[in-house]
Amino acid sequence: MKFKQQVRKLTSRNWGVSMKYQLFRISQYLRGWINYFGIVSGYQHCVELDHWIRRRVRMAYWRQWRKPRTKVRNLMRLGVHMQAAVACGITSKGPWRSSKTPGINQALSNAYLKSQGLYELRDGWIKLHHS
């Protein structure tokens, strides 16, 4: 699926840009995609893609933080308790698996990602079909 390939490209490790710019480009792509394909793609499909995109973005944050100490510090700054932050920070799981853990989901919640500028396909679908 070309959609997922493009999102993978926009969240790749070797792009070397800030997360703010990365989220801007992802949101730009998502807006264009939903406006073009929103009529044919079903609501449930958009919800599933949203879930996958948010997990991919959480993984990008996790990879960007790199070192365990930085991960713990950033998780605590985003409101995770110290014990949970340390458990997440020192895990030997890979970034994709880690992106589904409760500590990371609490820190990088849907509301936080939205406040950082991540566009939701679900919102675009609703706007397209109920206007």
pLDDT interval class at 41 (50, 70, 90) = low
| Residue 42: predicted pLDDT | 78
Give SS3 for 93: coil
pLDDT at 88: 93
Return the SS3 of 100.
coil
Q: What is the pTM of this model?
A: 0.83
Query: Rounded mean pLDDT of 60-81?
Result: 94
pLDDT category of residue 131 using cuts at 50, 70 and 90: low
Q: Which of 121, 128, 130, 126 is nearest to 3 (CA)?
A: 121
